[in-house]
Chains A and B, each alone.
Chain A
Amino acid sequence: MATAIEVRSVSKHFRLYHEQFTSLKERMLHWGKVPYEDFWALRDIELEIEEGQTFGLLGHNGSGKSTLLKCTAGIVQPTSGEIMTRGRVAALLELGAGFQPAMSGRENIYLNASLLGMSRKYVDRRFDDIVAFAELEQFIDNQVKYYSSGMYIRLGFAVAVHMDPDILIVDEVLAVGDELFQRKCFDRVRQFQREGRTIVVVTHSPDLVRQVCDRAAVLDHGHLVGLGSPAEAVRSYREHLLRRQAYLDAGEMTEMLSLAQSEPSSGSPAQVEQRGPESADGNADAGPSAIAVKSDEDASVGASTAGTALDGNHPPATLTISYVHIEPAHSAGRHYVETGEPMQLVVGYRASAAYADVVPSVIVYDQKGTVLFSADTRLYPAEIEVPSGDGEFVFSFDSLPLLDGDYPLTVGVTSYDQYSVYDWQEQQHTLSVITRNGQTGLVSVPARISQRPPVASDAPVGPEPDPAAVDAQPASKTPIA
């Protein structure tokens, strides 16, 4: 496979002026002493994207991912280094960029298309397709200023996807329009993938990366910090996010801790319960499917020091997940859960200080990375407080509807507003499910199948005869209420 995009030691430097002086007078007044900071939006980025790949660029706000995208698209020039792209490049940073409100939809299609590098002849041929895709047949000769925002975006997207690029660069613009239109856009991206076109997506949504990307890179403060499969990239992204939050939240945490010097709460929400620190040791080796991770955190950082942990060299307070194990309700010592069984998911944590307002969450995926279900306490108004020390969150599920398979599992602990991620273990655990009967598919949905005898056409309409009910629920399992 040839490389479609080659990024060679690209750096981008900005001067952040504390004030922008755009007039000559201001310039003269501040001659040579305009205060500015050097800011490197990108630092020595090396990247190769192969032809036909769908590549994700992950990063938090201000990580430089959009700058890299703009450089690749040729909108911004890098300060040094170069980017080579092989093939026609289409960059969708904004849909309908440059639409002229006073011009008709028809005129705007031609203008927008030529802006994206399409010839008039080419647009002539695809014109009807574009209009049909945008679902704007009736309005195509109206001025664009009378369009609703949805129509506007649809027209923009329709032009963009009809331009036959070799390389498509997208900046999260897929999340527009109503559901039906989104579906259409997604199909289009899938089609582009099948056709072997290269796609680069910039996002801060790990879900999107898991769903559509073959490979992904993670940017943090202008540096390339992760590169690999979507799962690896997402993991590295979460890690960096976590590290960053720990640093950023240092100031806020002081405040939080002073509020949190209280007893553990007893009023836990319905599904997730919190076990006190005393019960933690007893369960540590109970489930064989348990995976112990990250348990060697220094426990000496107690609540007493937490208040002072932020000034100077002391590490900030931490709340980490020390282990995760799955407890099938009635039979310990198994590696799996059976379909339809009650299940308990135990998340052990270690807190170096007391935390208020903690949200533990669990997300279960299928093999393709689609979220199957998740559970956290944000649905419940009660707040969870965590005292300093060890403890467990227990997620109880009455019955597990999943069928045969290994399901990746993400476990995390965040603050209620999700602004702070205390710990996040992205798909590091596996939920193994075994189904005893021969049901196929992803989930077990109890069903009853019955039969109605054919009704003679001239027969009077009367009450239905009682169907001969066939209990389709497999015999080995009792139906779940």
Chain B
Amino acid sequence: MVRRDGDKPLRVVSPKITLRQRVQAIWTYRELLGEMTRKELTVQYKNSILGFLWSMLNPAINLVVYFVVFQLILKNGIPRFAIYLMCGTLVWNFFSMGVSGACGSIVGNSPIIKKVSFPREIPALAQIGSALTQMGFQTIVLIVFLLAFRSGPAVAYLPLLIPALIAVILLATAIGILFAALNVKLRDVGYLLGIGLQVWFWGTPIVYTYAQIRDPIQFGHSPYLWLFILYRLNPVTPIVLTFQRAIYSVTSPIGTGGVPVHILPDHAGLWWYGWQLLAVIGFAGALLLFALSVFAKREGSFAEQL
């Protein structure tokens, strides 16, 4: 029996592989991406009674702690603070879980990296996928809260959630892939990333409001202007702001004493958010290309260094 003699795929193993070929390879292995994402989600909480609920418990506890500290103790006076918090943590949880998961993905999957040939980006992408799934579940909880508080979203701003989601996925993927490659040779990278993410969290308006940073520096001339510019360079901020604008829906709600609480800039319209998101997408896209090229350069020696 002679085997079918159709055109067989030609594969070239060489130190020089173009970006296009890499993306094509990832596309051919898309089913593996699905399987690995599924694996990440199931293996983690196998043999536990609460199972997947555990993945919700951690962010939930964080939420309760922030609520108690900021609302009850520090009396920040933000109305419907729980919903405000959830808008930011929804984005942040995905981002930090995706990035730190991807960072350890190559090292964590060393048995298969050493023995099986497949696009090495897949484990990192699977971590992003798993984080995205968990974000989906947290969204359900958020919707339940919205219904409980009888709080509706800002419908006009809802379409902005799509570019915001694209931006945060691109950003997490780019940083995740970059760190995944670097972490193979230097394990410090992983620890550094953990610390970096903590600082980054507090550098993003999630538990406090954007207005609390912005208002004191309102009319320029402030010696802190350059610090503010630095603060504004945080690419996660526009994404978080968009989520808050669309879901929390009000910019200056009336607080407990009948005084409006400034949360988001009142004058900012759709384009204010739109442009920022476009900038973040552009930056994240460029970073992703850079990350892929670094990854490509390192990838050949993964099997040796693990």
The yes or no answer to B216 lying at the interface (CB within 8 A) is no
Chain B residues whose CB sits within 8 angstroms of the CB of A115 once the complex forms: 32, 35, 112, 116, 118
B43 and A100 form a contact (CB under 8 A): yes
C-alpha gap A82/B21 in the complex (Å)? 15
A117 and B29 form a contact (CB under 8 A): yes
Per the 8 Å Cβ criterion, residues 90-127 of A in contact with B are 91, 93-94, 97-98, 100, 102-103, 107, 110-111, 114-117, 119-120
A196 and B1 form a contact (CB under 8 A): yes
User: With A103-B46, A117-B29 in contact, do A98 and B13 touch (Cβ < 8 Å)?
Assistant: no
B43 and A116 form a contact (CB under 8 A): no
User: With A73-B117, A74-B117 in contact, do A107 and B112 touch (Cβ < 8 Å)?
Assistant: no
User: With A75-B115, A76-B303, A97-B111 in contact, do A22 and B15 touch (Cβ < 8 Å)?
Assistant: no
C-alpha gap A85/B29 in the complex (Å)? 18
A91 and B13 form a contact (CB under 8 A): no
Chain B residues whose CB sits within 8 angstroms of the CB of A132 once the complex forms: none
Interface size on A, residues (CB 8 A): 49
C-alpha gap A83/B12 in the complex (Å)? 6
The yes or no answer to A84 lying at the interface (CB within 8 A) is yes
Chain B residues whose CB sits within 8 angstroms of the CB of A85 once the complex forms: 10-13
B116 and A91 form a contact (CB under 8 A): yes
Shortest distance between the CB of B105 and any CB in chain A (Å): 13
Shortest distance between the CB of A298 and any CB in chain B (Å): 44
The yes or no answer to B75 lying at the interface (CB within 8 A) is no
The yes or no answer to A408 lying at the interface (CB within 8 A) is no
Cβ proximity bits B95-125 to A, threshold 8 Å, 1 near / 0 not: 0000000000000010111111110000000
User: With A23-B187, A97-B111 in contact, do A77 and B14 touch (Cβ < 8 Å)?
Assistant: yes
Chain B residues whose CB sits within 8 angstroms of the CB of A194 once the complex forms: 1
Chain A residues whose CB sits within 8 angstroms of the CB of B111 once the complex forms: 94, 97-98
- For B187, give its contact among A22, A71, A80, A197 (CB under 8 Å): A22
Per the 8 Å Cβ criterion, residues 340-383 of A in contact with B are none
Per the 8 Å Cβ criterion, residues 261-306 of A in contact with B are none
Shortest distance between the CB of B278 and any CB in chain A (Å): 36
The yes or no answer to B232 lying at the interface (CB within 8 A) is no
Shortest distance between the CB of B110 and any CB in chain A (Å): 10
C-alpha gap A92/B10 in the complex (Å)? 20
Chain B residues whose CB sits within 8 angstroms of the CB of A76 once the complex forms: 300-301, 303-304
- For B13, give its contact among A78, A102, A103, A107 (CB under 8 Å): A78
A89 and B11 form a contact (CB under 8 A): yes
Chain A residues whose CB sits within 8 angstroms of the CB of B47 once the complex forms: 102
B299 and A77 form a contact (CB under 8 A): yes
Per the 8 Å Cβ criterion, residues 23-81 of B in contact with A are 28-29, 31-32, 34-36, 38-39, 42-43, 46-47
User: With A100-B39, A111-B39, A166-B3 in contact, do A88 and B303 touch (Cβ < 8 Å)?
Assistant: no
The yes or no answer to A322 lying at the interface (CB within 8 A) is no
B116 and A75 form a contact (CB under 8 A): yes
B2 and A102 form a contact (CB under 8 A): no
B43 and A70 form a contact (CB under 8 A): no
Who on chain A is nearest to B185 by CB?
A: A22
Per the 8 Å Cβ criterion, residues 132-155 of B in contact with A are none
- For B303, give its contact among A70, A98, A166 (CB under 8 Å): A70
Shortest distance between the CB of A68 and any CB in chain B (Å): 11
The yes or no answer to A255 lying at the interface (CB within 8 A) is no
The yes or no answer to B257 lying at the interface (CB within 8 A) is no
A84 and B10 form a contact (CB under 8 A): yes
The yes or no answer to A244 lying at the interface (CB within 8 A) is no
The yes or no answer to A334 lying at the interface (CB within 8 A) is no
17 contacts between A and B (CB under 8 A): A70-B303, A72-B13, A73-B117, A74-B11, A75-B113, A75-B303, A77-B14, A83-B14, A85-B12, A86-B9, A89-B117, A93-B116, A103-B43, A111-B39, A119-B31, A143-B46, A195-B1
> Which residues of B are interface residues toward A (Cβ below 8 A)?
1-3, 8-16, 28-29, 31-32, 34-36, 38-39, 42-43, 46-47, 109, 111-118, 185-188, 299-301, 303-304
17 new A-B pairs (CB below 8 Å) besides A23-B188, A24-B186?
A72-B13, A75-B114, A75-B116, A78-B13, A85-B10, A86-B8, A88-B8, A89-B11, A91-B115, A102-B42, A103-B39, A103-B42, A107-B42, A111-B36, A114-B32, A115-B112, A166-B8
